[in-house]
Amino acid sequence: MRQVNLAIIGGGTVGGGVFQALQRNGALMASRLGMELRVARVAVRDVRKARAVKIPAGLLTDDWKAAISDPQVNLVVELMGGTTTARKVVLAALRQGKPVVTANKALLSAHGKELFAAAQKHGANLYYEASVAGGIPIIKVLREGLVGNRITRLYGIVNGTCNYILSRMKLEGADFSAVLADAQRLGYAETPPDLDIDGHDAAHKIGILASLAHGFWVNPKQIYTEGIRAVTGQDIEFAGQLGYTIKLLGVVKRHDEQRAVQVSVYPALVPNSHVLANVNGVFNAVYVRGDVVGDTLYYGRGAGQDATASAVLSDLADAALDLKSGVKSRVAPFVPHERDGRVLPLAEAISRYYVRLNVADKPGTLAKIAAILGRARIGMSSVIQPEGHEGKSVPLILMIHDATNTAMAKAMSQISRLPVIKGAPTLIRVESFE
């Protein structure tokens, strides 16, 4: 049986998980592939460091360059994280014509265009299934399963930390800060948690999916990104009364009339009747609409040692089969086929909106608000002023018809300056999945 020798760069949570998974299921994979996957080197920063997964000392090295350059190594697996040294690792392997498997979403988001160009130039392949949505094989779906489709819509719950927080806030009526503290204690959120709760992790992932789906590399600076810090228990309660659940969504929408693609991350009201509203806890889901296949859904664990290791093993299997068949790029990692691709600025995007205002409980308040919206030609579909709220200000909930982000921003700016408005308005987009 032919043997493929691996150099794993990084022996932490993910690297250790992949090593452990290979020990557990390596023989099974070999029987299915007709190829044995053998770990030849594991490059780490400190070979003396105690590790949760025991890796034989004879495999460990602190010299990643030597591990990559080892003539016996056929395949490089980058699992170290970060974007600086990791970029050097991937480029060094590709320049030697060696295929690379990576789970590094931040690296691909920041340097994907350069890395894919290097893979093409040097005739090597770059595999990155584990970079998005953990154990969900969404990269393979877009690269292979839906290759005959134009992707018109893609919605992703791709950050387990935010989904865990929002799920518990809804199901338990819990406070954001208390749930965040629990998430950090359980290891679902980092300290500090900014990358997750401010939407940046989701933006890395949704940018990769948007690029793959639409054939041009999406600059991460062009992705509108909004996290969940401003979502309150009141918003979740009122959304529930209206028949919605609040989720942090990655949104990719093709707008043919504007020859552009919207790529955004923001909290959104999702109808309770939609399947994404029922994705709870740390689970991820990606909802994809193709012009031929229609609507499809992919669901599973989006993070964690085992889910990520499973995705890496999938890439290792593909890489081994490519080597076995004597090709270096059976399925190209990324094909730029939309030379004039454009990301739609959020200012031009049209949405429905949920608006929560704290207003003075005085006659004529709603009329003043409606007058500003009317002058902006923005329609209201419903208005709710919940009973049981007393004091100097009370909540007022507006559901807004389709409007551009620019029009809404101008209207909200004018409304916020009204003397009857107490505090900053809360605005959350509403997705109808039409």
Longest dimension (CA), the chain: 83
Spell out the residues 6+ positions from residue 24 whose beta carbon is closer than 8 angstroms to its own: none
Report the amino acid identity of residue 376: A
What is the per-residue burial (b if ≥16 Cβ within 10 Å, else e) of 217-228? bbebeebbbbbb
Extended strands (E) in 293-379: 294-301, 350-360
Which strand (E) or helix (H) includes residue 9? strand 2-9
205 is catalytic: yes
Q: How far apart are CA 138 and CA 129, in angstroms?
A: 7
Which residue is catalytic, options 98, 205, 247, 253?
Answer: 205
CB atoms within 10 A of CB 129: 27
Name the 3-class secondary structure at 129.
helix
CA distances from 197 to 43, 103, 165, 193, 251 (A): 32, 21, 9, 6, 16
Query: Any residues with CB less than 8 A from the CB of 307 and at least 6 apart, and which?
Result: 134, 135, 300, 301
Residue 179 parent element (H or E)? helix 176-185
Q: Which residues are catalytic?
A: 205
